[in-house]
């Protein structure tokens, strides 16, 4: 079974999500990307 991982690091904070639920990981990744890029803009 495939496992999907995405890890975010900022300074001393590190957040890592791993799951075999591809859809869930994709949703979370999209949400975080959108929020961070919104902040960058």
Residue 24 CB, nearest approach to another protein (Å): 5
Q: Is residue 4 a contact partner of residue 25, using CB atoms and an 8 Å limit?
A: yes
Report the nearest approach of another protein to the CB of residue 34 (Å).
10
Site for another protein in 2-41 (CB under 8 A): 2-22, 24, 27-29, 31-33, 35-37, 39-41
DSSP assignments along 27-38, one per residue: HHHHHHHHHHHH
Give the Cα separation of 13 and 21 in Å (integer): 24
Binding interface with another protein (CB under 8 A) = 1-22, 24, 27-29, 31-33, 35-37, 39-41
């Amino acid at each position: 079974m495939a496992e999907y991982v995405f890890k975010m690091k900022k300074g001393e904070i590190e957040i890592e999500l791993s799951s075999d639920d591809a859809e869930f990981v994709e949703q979370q990744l999209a949400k975080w990307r959108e929020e961070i890029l919104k902040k960058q803009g």
